[in-house]
Amino acid sequence: DIQMTQSPSTLSASVGDRVTITCRASQSISSWLAWYQQKPGKAPKLLIYKASSLESGVPSRFSGSGSGTEFTLTISSLQPDDFATYYCQQYNSYPFTFGPGTKVDIK
């Protein structure tokens, strides 16, 4: 299985901050990476697919980059609605696997 790691595990930030979350894969996954946002008691929501493609309806302050084994999710200016947990997921090969999550909370 491809192991996914994320850093940091928790991130404290303020509204307006630029936030970057890193996701690493245990082997190359090309660009087959997605990012999700999850709020307490809710299902995850797809933000980014194929490493850098923005899902329809997702604000443009979210962006993704990377390929191979290292990827980043950037929020250019953190908004109150963005405090949540973020997960990366690889879909290069079965079984699909998720990172452990990064919780973004209020500083």
Partner 1 sequence: QVQLQESGPGLVKPSGTLSLTCAVSGGSISSSNWWSWVRQPPGKGLEWIGEIYHSGSTNYNPSLKSRVTISVDKSKNQFSLKLSSVTAADTAVYYCARVGKYYYDSSGYQPGGCFDIWGQGTMVTVSS
Which residue lies nearer to partner 1 by CB, 19 or 34? 34
# residues contacting partner 1 (CB under 8 A): 24
Does 46 sit near partner 1 (CB under 8 A)? yes
- 9: Cβ contacts below 8 Å, ≥ 6 apart: 100, 101, 102, 103
**Minimum CB distance to partner 1, residue 7 (Å):** 14
If one asks whether residue 45 binds partner 1 (CB under 8 A), the answer comes out as yes
Q: Please write down the long-range contacts of 49-53, taking CB distance under 8 Å and 24 or more positions apart.
A: none
What residue ranges bind partner 1 (CB under 8 A)? 1, 32, 34, 36, 42-46, 49-50, 55, 87, 89, 91-92, 94-101
